[in-house]
Amino acid sequence: MKLNNKKIAIVGGGPGGLTLARLLQLKGADVKVYERDFNKHARVQGSPLDLHKDSGIAALRAANLLEEFKKAYRPGADRLTMTNHLGEVLFSDHDTAPGEDFDNEGFRPEIDRGPLRMLLLDSLQPETVVWDCHFISMEKQNEGWLLHFKNGTTAYADIVIAADGANSKIRPYLTDIKAFYSGITMIEVSVPNAEKGVPNIYKLTNGGKIMAFGNGKCLLTGLKGNGELGYYLSLKTDENWAEANDIDCNSKEQLLEWFKNEYAEWDSSWHELFENIATPFVPRPIYCMPLNQYWEAQPNLTLLGDAAHVMPPFAGEGVNMAMKDALELSEYLTSAEHVTVHDAITAYENGMRKRASGIAQESLDNGERMHSKDAANAMVKMFSEME
């Protein structure tokens, strides 16, 4: 095997990096994952994820982890209620969405990020993940790379794979192409103990998610397994929204006042969302890599997930793309089809960029649809046709 006697460094311990580590270890590869978190409990994990049959689920199947996933996912959390800005229900799939059927493309089981990460971590060999390794830089050494970390340690690897997210520090070693602003900013907010803190919205979620649309803006909510409600206020605005508005991200009163002005046409029933929020809330300008990006493949360096193709979240493909990347890269690196590591990386990157470009275009198109004047009707039509 072309990976014999080669040390592989995966930088970043998110779903994509951990999935790749698991898949490569099943093939006998020597893998280390270098993660900046101090330990596996150091960071609160974000919004829930829904996995798709031909990407996230396919990767879990290949990793022999589907049965463990079935124990950890949250049945019913993928169900959707869609409303207009007045809170009037326009669409619900709570009675029509497919039940548990992992061979059905329409079944998209949802899992919190924390349990998914733990599932993947527990599948790895002991000491695979090296914690407290915040990547700083690397340089070529012999036929590989010497990596430097913020804690002063170094590590040598014959092959380096960047799985370090949208702000990847390894990507510049491959390309100087940068993401562009999509024109949309999302404000991430959470409400602990949603059943008590937002009782009316909690009831409307019915254990699943809400999408609300009106006047070129939208509101997206989802319940987490710990009872917390996470939601995003999403609108078209300038890239420097946070600086221009000078809102104190620790002030729920300021956020509510901004909402009343910016979402002026929206019903006051939504104001409940601001009464018991956890602070700080987080503005997130949404970026996308150019759809035609290209770089020359290197013989021992590549990347996956957001490090390769960050895109808007409006197709629900982020984690699925990362896990699909991991699946394909592991297959290219361990199959006999490609003679050298360089050949394998070249084939993987060519396919990955093409696949990502198509999904990115879909995400951009959905973003436009979701923030259009007629978004509610357009989204109801789209989801009704998917059933």
Tell which phi-psi region holds residue 132, choosing left (phi > 0), alpha (psi between -120 and 50) or beta: left
Instruction: Give CA separation, 250 vs 50, 188, 197, 256, 282, in Å.
Output: 30, 12, 18, 12, 9
Q: Check the annotation: does 95 bind a ligand.
A: no
Q: Check the annotation: does 36 bind a ligand.
A: no
Q: Check the annotation: does 43 bind a ligand.
A: yes
According to DSSP, the residues that pair with 214 across neighbouring strands are 217
In the block, residue with structure tokens 């999904």: 359
Q: How far apart are CA 193 and CA 185, in angstroms?
A: 26
**Of the candidates 299, 298, 296, 297, which has an alpha carbon nearest to the alpha carbon of residue 340?**
299
Contact 17, 161 (CB under 8 A): yes
Q: Which amino acid is at 328?
A: E
Q: Check the annotation: does 365 bind a ligand.
A: no
Q: How far apart are CA 39 and CA 94, in angstroms?
A: 38
Structure tokens of 342? 């360089």
DSSP 313-354: STTS-HHHHHHHHHHHHHHHHHSSSSSSHHHHHHHHHHHHHH
Residues in the chain: 387
* Per-state percent for the chain, helix, strand, coil, to nearest 5: 35, 25, 40
Residues annotated within the binding site are 43, 50, 113, 306
Q: Which residues are annotated as a binding site for NADPH?
A: 43
Residue numbering of the annotated binding site for FAD: 50, 113, 306
